[in-house]
Amino acid sequence: MLEKGNRANTLHGILLIALFSFAAFYIASFPIVKRLSFSPLIVGIVLGMLYANSLRNKLPETWVPGIKFCTKQVLRWGIILYGFRLTLAQVAAVGVPAVAVDLVVVVVTILGGVLLGRLLKIDRDTALMTSTGSAICGAAAVLGAEPVVKCEGYKTAIAVSTVVIFGTLSMFLYPIMYRTGMLDGLSDTGVAIYTGSTLHEVAHVAGAGNAMDPTDSLGIAGTATITKMIRVMMLAPVLVVMSLALAGRRREDAAAVAEGAKAEKSRITIPWFAFGFIAVICLNSLLQHWCGVESVREIPLNGTIEYIDTFMLTMAMTALGTETSLDKFRQAGAKPFVLAGLLYVWLVVGGYFLTKWVVGMM
């Protein structure tokens, strides 16, 4: 993509996305945007979509490789650096119940979403991307799955949109349920695990947790965030399994296209960035031990790395947004949002009873 002959035009495309990303960071700092817990990633994809539906046709086609670079290479490195937000100690801190609930939520949501997608006659890529976003960590999971699924950019944007809608709804719904006594069947730890294992984005979990327990005196806000980060760590193994499963599907598709002829052997796509993600988590755990600090934010340069990583992920989201037009949303129809809504019901209702049962057992 950065070949010598096309390097200047590619850099123009990257610079365009970078400028939009700076704007996303600026807008995300507005008080009203902060209150809604809209991260720069979400603002970035909105800006990209606004551009796609207004001035996109005026963009020189020679700049497109720069945008593609942001949706591929920049995205992968952003996912790898995301590991600096986590440590292995965080898993041990909340114990087996959080891991068990997270694991069931991730598996059931992805497999259930794929099956529901078939019933709703949604294309497999859109169903898988939407299910992955609901199951793991919202927009970051959708971005992580995109290089493995290799779907069109607008499908990624649709999946992200469902995460934004239902995740934002949860951020307001969960504190209301907590205040009105609807979650009295759970202990404070249970409420935290329930929140962290069923809300979509890390920002949504932080927002809901802080609304229920502003000073973290009950341990709800902190435990919910850690539970959520355990779900984030599950992204890497999910991507590996997904890659192997999709390789088999592509072989079947190739055989169907060949109509009985010898199909070309499909090469398994190994998401190496997922292994990089796990390696960085291990490295971060060692750094925390060597530095003798209690949280990852106290590790030297961790804050700077997190800022750079957020900017890279914002660039990827913005670039995906620039490839998303309203025509493509109309083409997809309402079915992806119906799917996301059904998964949302499972997360809110099923997640509650699952958490109550698991925490009660342990």
pLDDT tens by residue, 171-184: 789 988 998 999 99
Higher local confidence (pLDDT), 319 or 357: 357
Calculate mean pLDDT across residues 12-24.
93
> 270 pLDDT exceeds 70?
no
The sign of the torsion formed by the CA atoms of 214, 216, 219, 222 equals positive
**What pLDDT, in 10s, does the model give residues 318-345?**
887 887 777 766 766 789 999 999 999 9
* Amino acid in position 307: Y
Cα–Cα dist 264/26, whole Å? 49
- What is the per-residue DSSP string for 61-84? GGGHHHHHHIIIIIHHHHHHHGGG
The whole-number pLDDT of residue 2 equals: 55
**Does the pLDDT value for residue 4 go beyond 80?**
no
pLDDT of residue 317: 80
Radius of gyration of the chain (CA): 20
Phi and psi at 177, nearest 5°, equal -60, -40
Q: For 171-227, what is each residue's pLDDT tens digit?
A: 789 988 998 999 999 999 999 999 999 998 777 787 788 778 877 678 788 788 888
pLDDT classification of 271: cutoffs 50, 70, 90: low
Q: What whole-number distance in Å separates Cα of residue 39 and Cα of residue 29?
A: 9
Listed residue (180, 220, 169) closest to 355, CA to CA: 220
- Average pLDDT score over the chain: 83
Given a cut of 90, is residue 27 above it in pLDDT? Answer: yes
pLDDT at 127 over 90: yes
Distance between the two ends of the chain, CA-based, in angstroms?
A: 52
Q: Return the pLDDT at 252.
A: 58
For 14, counting Cβ atoms within 10 Å of its Cβ (0-12 exposed, 13-18 middle, 19+ buried), the class is buried
Greatest Cα-to-Cα distance within the chain, rounded to the nearest angstrom: 66
Judge whether residue 263 has pLDDT over 80.
no
What does the pLDDT look like over 63-96, one tens digit per residue? 788 888 887 788 789 888 888 887 888 778 788 9
**Residue 49 pLDDT:** 83
| pLDDT over threshold 60, residue 286 | yes
**pLDDT higher than 80, residue 250:** no
298 DSSP assignment: G
* 144 or 339: which leads in pLDDT: 339
119-128 average pLDDT score = 92
| pLDDT band, very low/low/confident/very high, at 162 (cuts 50, 70, 90) | confident
Distance CA 110, CA 202 (A): 18
- Please give the pLDDT value at position 254: 54
Q: Which two tokens stand for residue 166?
A: 């239902």
**pLDDT for 265:** 45
Report the alpha-carbon distance of residue 142 to residue 39 in Å, rounded: 15
- 176-182: Cβ within 8 A, 24+ apart: 178/212, 179/212
Which amino acid is located at 171 in the chain? M
For residue 355, pLDDT beyond 90: yes
